[in-house]
Amino acid sequence: MTDVGKWLALLGALLLAVGLLVWGLGRLGWRGLPGDIVYERQHVRVYFPIVSCLLLSALLTGLMWLWQWLTRR
């Protein structure tokens, strides 16, 4: 059970770090990457971060590949 607690604490710390990063970037005025879709009208705002999602997917895929490559040895 202590292993589960360690993993949950690590996951919580990681989530906190990502949340602080996103909050800080928002406070600095960062609105996303070029290519992200934003639709705004009087009472409607739709934001779809397609380029951000593609970049994040590529980054996470590379990190998982690197992790597998390092642990295979």
pLDDT in tens, 10-55: 999 999 998 999 899 889 988 778 888 989 999 999 988 899 899 9
Residue 73 DSSP symbol: -
pLDDT at 57: 95
* Contact (Cβ atoms closer than 8 angstroms) between residue 35 and residue 51: yes
Half-sphere exposure of 68 (CA within 13 A, CB side): 6
Q: Are strands 45-48 and 37-40 parallel, antiparallel or unpaired?
A: antiparallel
Kindly report the pTM of this predicted structure.
0.59
Predicted local distance difference test score (pLDDT) of residue 34: 86
Q: How deeply is 71 buried, as exposed, middle or buried, from its count of CB atoms within 10 A (0-12, 13-18, 19+)?
A: exposed
